[in-house]
């Protein structure tokens, strides 16, 4: 089956909730954390701009000086704060600075949009049930790094992505929303990840609104 097959567009999102049913009366303040490209961050910003998510983004925190997310923030007029993990003695010291920064901007929810660092109880306890993570698998399958490669190595026929509330155990916590993506016979890590990312972009703004309705 070719990569251009109609099955590429097939996905199953659960829960299947329209953006209209997730409209928020009070705008959210979102603190975004990103380490790399920042495409999920930009998708959230676009959803806000298009009126699909009643929110604002007062700050983006990034830990990699070369992260493209910082350039996206500049283009979107979002203040970006570099907290380079190499400047801190340990993860807890970094998390203390992250907490201080997020509180400075008075955020309601914290969105880990490709944050490639393990966090500690310092951050989790400061924002209980208010930290959202997105992961490129159908959790609890394929936790950790190289989730797409793990799926290919396991020869599963369906994988996808998950938005969940963060807890101390890696890639765990209550699931907010998932999208399933079929694995095609000729998939590579690059082609499969590209299709998963399409679904990440679909469900992340919805999951943020859902989290606000159920946990704020």
Among 164, 30, 38, smallest CA distance to 113 is for 38
Q: What is the DSSP letter of 163?
A: E
* Radius of gyration from C-alpha coordinates of the chain: 17
The pLDDT value given to residue 11: 61
What confidence tier does 4 reach under pLDDT thresholds 50, 70, 90?
Answer: very low
Q: Are residues 47 and 85 in the same domain?
A: yes
Is 135 an active-site residue? yes
What is the average pLDDT across 5-18?
66
State mean pLDDT over 48-54: 93
Average pLDDT score over residue span 64-91: 96
Both structure tokens of 174: 């209550």
- Only one residue has tokens 């998390």, namely 95
Q: What is the C-alpha to C-alpha distance for residues 123 and 125, in angstroms, rounded to an integer?
A: 6
Instruction: Note the pLDDT of residue 136.
Output: 97
- Element of type H or E holding 26: none
Please pick, among 85, 135, 164, 193, the residue that the annotation labels catalytic: 135
Pair 144, 120 in one domain: no
Helical (H) or strand (E) element with 55: strand 55-62
Average pLDDT of the chain is 92
Mean pLDDT for 44-72 is: 96
Q: How many CA atoms lie within 13 A of 51 on its CB side?
A: 1
Residues 29, 124, single domain; the answer is yes
Examine residue 106 and state whether it is found in any structural domain, yes or no.
Answer: yes
pLDDT for res 1: 37
Mean pLDDT of 153-169: 97
Residues 44-56: what's their mean pLDDT? 95
Q: What is the tens place of the pLDDT at every residue in 111-154?
A: 999 999 999 999 999 999 999 999 999 999 999 999 999 999 99
Encode pLDDT of 179-208 as tens digits: 999 999 999 999 999 999 999 999 999 999
pLDDT at 69: 96
**Of 113, 128, 143, which residue constitutes the final position of a domain?**
128
124 and 167 in a single domain? The answer is no
Q: Is the CB of residue 30 less than 8 Å from the CB of residue 214? A: no
139 and 168 part of one domain? yes
In terms of domains, do 92 and 179 share one?
Answer: no
Torsion sign across C-alpha atoms 24, 129, 37, 100: positive
What pLDDT is recorded for position 20? Answer: 64
- Domain of 115? 25-128
Instruction: Walk across the sheet containing 109-112 and list its strands.
Output: 12-14, 175-182, 158-165, 131-135, 109-112, 28-34, 55-62, 80-82
Known binding-site positions: 38-40, 91, 116-119, 133
Q: Which of 87, 112, 128 is the last residue of a domain?
A: 128
Please count the CA atoms within 13 angstroms of the CA of 175 that sit on its side-chain side: 15
Binned at pLDDT 50, 70 and 90, residue 26 comes out as confident
- 154 assigned to some structural domain: yes
**74-102 mean pLDDT:** 97
């Amino acid at each position: 089956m070719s990569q251009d097959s109609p099955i590429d567009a097939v996905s199953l999102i659960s829960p299947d909730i329209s953006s209209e049913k997730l409209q928020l009366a009070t705008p959210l303040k979102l603190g975004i954390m990103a380490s790399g490209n920042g495409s999920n961050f930009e998708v959230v910003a676009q959803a806000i701009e298009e009126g699909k998510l009643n929110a604002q983004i007062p700050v983006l925190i990034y830990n990699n000086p070369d992260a493209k997310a910082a350039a996206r923030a500049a283009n979107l007029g979002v203040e970006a704060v570099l907290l380079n993990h190499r400047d801190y003695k340990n993860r807890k010291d970094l998390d203390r600075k992250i907490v201080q920064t997020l509180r400075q901007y008075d955020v309601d929810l914290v969105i880990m949009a490709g944050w490639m660092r393990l966090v500690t109880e310092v951050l989790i306890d400061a924002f209980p049930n208010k930290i959202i993570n997105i992961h490129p698998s159908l959790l609890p399958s394929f936790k950790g790094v190289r989730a797409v490669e793990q799926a290919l190595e396991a020869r599963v026929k369906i994988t996808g992505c998950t938005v969940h509330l963060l807890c101390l155990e890696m890639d765990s916590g209550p699931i907010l929303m998932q999208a399933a993506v079929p694995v095609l016979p000729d998939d590579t890590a690059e082609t499969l990840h590209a299709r998963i990312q399409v679904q990440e972009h679909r469900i992340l703004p919805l999951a943020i609104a859902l989290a606000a309705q159920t946990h704020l």
